[in-house]
Structure 1
Amino acid sequence: MTEWVGRFGMCTMMSVSSNTIRILVDADACPVKDEIYKVAWRHEVPVTIVANGHFRIPVHPLISRVVVSDGFDAADDWIAEQADAKSVVITADILLADRCVKAGATVLANTGKPFTTSSIGGAIATRAIMADLRAGGDIIGGPAPFSKTDRSAFLSALDAALVRLKRR
């Protein structure tokens, strides 16, 4: 593992070659970190958890963290710069998902829903409509509570994504 202070703040990260499959996690409000660790251990795939504050991660050679500065979208910027065709990115942030899909990454929401080149445009449009409704004073509910079904769907989707990447 390597620690350094870089453009994004204090970073701790293991060395991963550019041809290694890896999981990049937008840690802000991610309810499936434990599930990510379990799947990563089973597939022996490194995981990098990215956030703008310190947080606990399991002590394990496959898990590392990057703590970025408090700058606006610093974690998103770091993840987007690292994402490539060998990356699985876990995020609920639609705009980050768009950047990572364009970089060739496999992108999953924390519910297991994949963001793809064919679905990201609709997700961005829905996000914009919801923002307009909120700005207009309409009271709209937030997302449904995270359920066991969501957790199970996420586990299946992450496992399937890693299997697909390994077969390439």
Structure 2
Amino acid sequence: MSPVTILIDADACPVKDEIYRVALRFRAEVRVVSNAPFRIPDSPRVKRVVVSDSFDAADDWIAEAADARSVVVTADILLAERCLKAGARVLKHNGEEFTAASIGGAIATRAIMADLRAGMDGVGGGPAPFSKTDRSRFLQALDRVLVGMG
């Protein structure tokens, strides 16, 4: 059986270091996909993939590489949908897993929130700050997913 590959939508990923540690334990391959180079660990299992800075270049690379032996880490709902269709498992940075059952609701909520933000003329906040609890939930979720993919 081929090793699991963890594909990281890296430009805004706050859990890269955690992914590297867990991947090492599970002997998983890691691809850090971004528009600009990031520092990565010196490991033959971790590779940097720098794509062009064109719109959605990183998403396109990840979606094309995703398959049933992949775990994709992203907060991008539309990328998550593409990766689920390819058979990948998809985790948000806070440990929440996107599934075939949840992705439709996530897309609908995204559309509603975009409409609400458009009517607020820039007033309002963004997402809640990333917390230690989010980091812990992510680690537990990644571990659970990788054990399940054994």
TM-score, length-normalised on structure 2? 0.96
Query: Which residue in 2 is equivalent to 1:156?
Result: 140
2:3–2:27 contact (8 Å) kept in structure 1: no
Residue of 109, 112, 131 corresponding to 1:147: 131
2:29–2:46 contact (8 Å) kept in structure 1: yes
Runs of 5+ in structure 1 lacking a partner? 1-17
Mapping 1:1-168, distance limit 5 Å: 19-137=2-120, 139-166=123-150
- For 1:143, the aligned partner's letter is P
Question: In 1, distance between residues paired with 2:63 and 2:22?
Answer: 22
- For 2:129, the aligned partner's letter is P
Per the alignment, in what secondary structure is the counterpart of residue 63 of structure 2? helix
Quote how far apart the aligned CAs of 1:21 are: 1.1
- For 1:132, the aligned partner's letter is D
TM-score, length-normalised on structure 1? 0.86
- Structure with the higher helix share, 1 or 2: 2
Runs of 5+ in structure 2 lacking a partner? none
Quote how far apart the aligned CAs of 1:54 are: 1.4
* Percent identity for Structure 1 against Structure 2: 69
Question: In 1, distance between residues paired with 2:141 and 2:119?
Answer: 36
- For 2:3, the aligned partner's letter is T
- For 1:131, the aligned partner's letter is A
Question: In 1, distance between residues paired with 2:2 and 2:99?
Answer: 21
Task: Report the count of equivalent residues.
Answer: 149
Q: Over aligned residue pairs, what C-alpha RMSD do you find?
A: 1.2
2:67–2:88 contact (8 Å) kept in structure 1: yes
Query: Which residue in 2 is equivalent to 1:6?
Result: none
- For 2:127, the aligned partner's letter is P
- For 1:105, the aligned partner's letter is A
